[in-house]
Homo-oligomer: A and B are copies of this chain.
Amino acid sequence: MAEQKATNVHWHEGDITREHRQKLLGHRGATIWFTGLSGSGKSTVAVELEGVLHERGVLAYRLDGDNVRMGINKNLGFSAEDRAENIRRIGEVAKLFADSGVVALSSFISPYVADRDAVRELHENAGMDFIEVFVDCALEAAEARDPKGLYKKARAGEIKNFTGIDDPYEAPAKPEIHLHSDQQSLDEEVEVILAELTRRGVISA
């Protein structure tokens, strides 16, 4: 340990690294990337997982429409170009969080394989965990839930290019985790993700 005085503290051990932060927190940073249709239950799983991680002393942080679309991405619309840029920026922010030691929980539809794979590559090139969680749910089930009334508006033609209606959802071919939110319980879903985090050594058992 470096010498420490009450009024004059020093740090002599070089730049603080990801490993220093991991040691401080007792866990590694990572990005958990939820993808799936609107209404599939991405945020529901993310919120529950956040609570369970907190209970275990793991610092997690959710990135979602509330704090991203109104913040860093508030100058983006819904053109193809802006949608790609939306996901790119979220991926870069998640990567910064993962680097800082935080478990970032990103929940956005993120319907295109190319955009998600670009975020994966960003993380993997930097030696960071990227865990893609496909929150799979039949369109009928998601549309029946329609928590925000968006499917209704899309069917009425009030929203254009809505994923699953008149814009495609490209399902992940090899997600780290494949949930079936119309068949599994919330507890089961969270357990599967915890097991993967433990298996990777992001968190301890």
In the assembled complex, the Cα of A13 lies from the Cα of B52 at a distance in Å of 10
A54 touching B10, Cβ below 8 Å: no
Residue of chain B at shortest CB distance from A56: B9
Copies in the complex: 2
Within 8 A of B (CB), among A133-148: none
Q: How many residues of A contact B (CB 8 A)?
A: 48
Knowing A11-B48, A54-B20, say if A25 contacts B72 (CB, 8 Å): no
Q: Does A2 contact B (CB under 8 A)?
A: yes
Q: Does A32 contact B (CB under 8 A)?
A: no
Residue of chain B at shortest CB distance from A63: B96
The smallest beta-carbon distance between A49 and chain B, in angstroms, is 9
In the assembled complex, the Cα of A72 lies from the Cα of B67 at a distance in Å of 16
The smallest beta-carbon distance between A22 and chain B, in angstroms, is 11
Q: Does A102 contact B (CB under 8 A)?
A: yes
Residues of A within 8 A of B (CB): 2, 4, 7-13, 15-16, 20-21, 24-25, 47-48, 50-52, 54-57, 59-61, 63, 67, 71-72, 75, 85, 89, 92-93, 95-97, 99-102, 122, 187, 190-191, 194
